[in-house]
Amino acid sequence: MGGKGFTLIELVIAILVFAVGILGIVKMQSLSITGNSYGMHMSQAVNIAQDKLEELQNLSITSDTFNDGTPNALVPQYIKTINGTDYSIEYNVKTISGLGTKEVEIVVGWPEVLRNPSISITFVKR
């Protein structure tokens, strides 16, 4: 051989190095998409919880909604679908003894592969 050009071994090694680099980029892209999706769902869940919080704050404390042991407490009271994702909305009411106030916890969850993340907002109703 005259020493000009690449040998077959050099070519195979170069292709292997290139393939490993491409696989790393594909994995990073996949993680980026997953992270963006989680962030989008988290933002939607916070908005849904905020809407429910405002809805409950506008009700009178004497409303049946604020009875202790509200039926279906922490069982999905309804599902809201946004862009094909079902968000479960639940809330639980507890009386704060001696103060004439209620503590309300709102939980919004959504399904993901291998887990069911959720966010929680708690407020006090007087």
Pairing of strands 101-109, 85-96: antiparallel
Q: pLDDT, tens digit, for every residue of 107-124?
A: 999 998 888 999 999 999
Residue 108 belongs to a domain: yes
CA distance 118 to 123: 17
Residue 52 belongs to a domain: yes
For the chain (126 residues), the mean pLDDT of every run of 10, in chain order, is 79 96 96 93 97 92 74 64 93 84 92 92 92
CA distance 50 to 77: 16
List the structure tokens of 100: 């004439």
Residue 1 belongs to a domain: no
Q: Say how many domains are in the chain.
A: 1
List the structure tokens of 78: 């309804």
Residue 42 belongs to a domain: yes
Residue 49 belongs to a domain: yes
Q: Which of 80, 10, 6 is nearest to 50 (CA)?
A: 80
pTM score: 0.76
As beta bridge partners, residue 88 has 79, 109
Residue 119 belongs to a domain: yes
Count other C-beta atoms under 10 Å from residue 69's C-beta. 9
Residue 29: its pLDDT value, please? 96
Count other C-beta atoms under 10 Å from residue 51's C-beta. 14
Containing domain of residue 19, as a range?
A: 8-125
Q: Tokens 């009700």 sit at which residue?
A: 59
Residue 72: its pLDDT value, please? 47
Residue 3 belongs to a domain: no
List the structure tokens of 77: 């009271």
Residue 2 belongs to a domain: no
The SS3 of residue 117 is: coil
Residue 114: its pLDDT value, please? 85
